[in-house]
Each structure stands twice: as C-alpha cells, then as structure tokens.
Amino acid sequence: MVPVDNNSFVSDIKQLIEHSRRTAYAAVNSIMIDTYWHIGQRIVEQEQQGEKRAEYGKQIIKMLSKELTQEYGEGWSERTLWYCKSFFLTFNDIEILHTRVQNLTWSHIRTTLRVDDPVAARWYLQTASQEMWSVRTLDRNISTQYFERHFKQPQLVEDSRKNPPADKLEVLKSPVVAEFLGFNPGTDYTESDLEKGLISHLQEFLVEMGRGFAFVARQKHIFTDAGDFYIDLVFYNYILKCFVLIDLKKGQITHQDIGQMDMYVRMYDDLQRTEGDNPTIGIVLCSETSKDIARYSILHDNDHLFAAKYMALMPTEEELRREIEQQKELYNLQNS
C-alpha cells in the first residue's frame, strides 16, 4: 500500500485557500477603487450643474453622506466622500489609472490625496506601484517630501507626468533624510557609526536613495600600486546601469573629499566596470555641503561626481523645504 502524504495534501489545500483569498482581496480592492472614483466623478458632475460656490458643494456632500449612511451604514462619512471627489479630480482618467497604478489599495490612494500638487500625487502613486511601497513607506516618503528632493529641474517634474526619466537625477536626492538611524539630538556619532547605521537599515536607505538601487559592498577594497583603498559603500543602479560609490563624511565637505571620490570613480571604472556598464557615479554624502565647493571644485560641470547632504534627524516641514531649496541651488551652481 502506497503511504499517504497528508502533510503535502494539507499544504496544497492551504495554498489554494490562500491564493483564493488573495485573488478575492485584489478583486474587491479593485472594485472599491473603481467605485470611489466613479462616486467622485458623479459628485463633481452634480456640483457643476448647481451653484458655483464652495458652500453648495459642502451641502451636496453632507446630504449624500446622510443618505448613504442611512441606507448602507457606517463608512460613508463626509470625509470619505471628500476623498472620492479629490480622487477623481487628481486622477480624472480611469483607464490611465488602471494601466499605470496597479497593486495599490485605497489606503495608498487616500494617503496620496493629501499632496496638493496633482503632478506630485500622480508620481507618488506611480512610483509606489512600481516599487511596491507599503502604505507606511508611502506615508514616510510624502512626509519627507521625497518627490521634491528627487527632481532638480522643473522640466523633469513635468516629464514625470508620464514616467520618471532614467537620468542621473535618479541618484541626486538631497538632502537624504535618515531619521530611521535612530540618532538622538546631541548624539556624538562617528563616520563608522553612520555607516553601520545605514547598513543595519539598508532597506530604508535603498528607498531613501531612490529607484533602482541594489547593494553591492561595504568597505570595498581596491588595490593599486599606490596602495590599498576602501570605498565606504558601493551600489548598482539597474535603471542607470552603473555603479554608484558613496563616501561618508561627518562634517562639511572639502576639496580633498571631492578629489578622493574622483580618484575612487576613476579606479572603479578602470578595475571593476564591465562591458555594458555606464560610467561610475560618485557621491560624497556629508552633513554639510558648500557653495564654494559646488562652484569652484572639480564638482563643477562634472556629471559623475556629486555632493549630497544627509540629515540624521527629521527636520520640521519648513526646515526641510528650506533645505531642499538650498540643495537645488548647489546643484544648479555645480551644473551652471
């Protein structure tokens, strides 16, 4: 008699149930998003038929919320209906939404609707879909103004309506907000501590760096006739198809830091770069950048060397906005 493998049998049944649950959840989520979009469309159409003032819109939503709650119970608050309206106004083409924004929940969409700029809101959802961001990751990236730090030039912001470009700007998000390191105000940490912190929070750091990053090495050893050299962090960006070297500096960036990174990039291109790889990019990640360095060092007019500022503590919204503008100014000085 052939023995019966009950464990395999039970495992197969469990997999069938889990698959059906995932399929059902995805179907319900898709129907829910589609329903909310059409509700928002209908609210806007009703408002356009009536009086052209904000108070009229409030009355419509208040009346509709009351009627729906009486008929269907909880879940149809005025706030939910405002989200539906905002959803339609932000993404007014349902077909584009279905083709470009997939695998996301209503919670993703609702989180994005707090973004005032519709271009940024669409970019957040498209990127969250492509990169499989959780709602928590999406919320953090919106709070730290990921989009505003990601693009340095206005035309690239406009291009992002279609798809973020495969450009070196993919790796130039500055400042890098690394509050996930857990350093407290006044903490006296070293460059080694910073490196260890980034490695121990590698997943968060990869998201913070931008799209397409994969970790390659830490303290990468390069041997030449001139001696032994160690590069703090090495990544590969599969969108840009190039290696990205990062040197960590605690304090303000110096000419020596830039010169050292320039040497690292040249050595890496000579010794490690293979056929099909684009030229290596070097980033000096420091706690303070400098206008003079951007303007007068070999950073100037160099599209393979960059300086980026890191912030180990979460700034206020106003501080972050001011810092973003300062870093964009430095980028423009380097490339003017």
Q: Note whether residue 154 is domain-resident.
A: no
Determine the 3-state secondary structure of 145 from DSSP: coil
Contact of 309 with 323, CB cutoff 8 Å: yes
Within this chain, do residues 85 and 171 fall inside the same structural domain, yes or no? no
Furthest-apart CA atoms within the chain: distance in Å? 84
| Structure confidence at residue 321 (pLDDT) | 86
- The answer as to whether 94 is a domain residue is yes
Looking at the structure, do residues 34 and 178 belong to the same domain, yes or no?
no
- 198 and 316 both lie in a single domain: yes
Identify the pLDDT of residue 150.
77
Asked whether residue 110 is domain-assigned, the answer is: no
Residue 324 contacts residue 285 (beta carbons within 8 Å): no
pLDDT at residue number 52: 59
**pLDDT score, position 49:** 76
For residue 140, being part of any structural domain is answered with no
pLDDT value, residue 291: 87
| 248: containing domain | 165-334
Look at residues 76, 98, 120 and tell me which one is the last residue of a structural domain: 98
Any domain includes 22: yes
For position 111, what pLDDT does the model report? Answer: 93
Write 142-149 long-range contacts (CB < 8 A, 24+).
142/111, 142/112, 142/114, 142/115, 144/177, 144/314, 144/320, 145/320, 145/321, 145/324, 146/173, 147/115, 147/117, 147/120, 147/123, 148/120, 148/321, 148/324, 149/173, 149/174, 149/175, 149/177, 149/324, 149/327
Query: Which of the residues in the chain have pLDDT under 70?
Result: 1-5, 9, 25-26, 50-54, 96, 98-101, 152-171
pLDDT at 3: 58
Same domain, 177 and 291: yes
User: How does pLDDT run across 84-142, given as a tens digit for each residue?
Assistant: 999 998 887 777 676 666 778 889 999 999 888 888 888 898 888 888 888 999 999 99
Total number of domains constituting the chain: 2
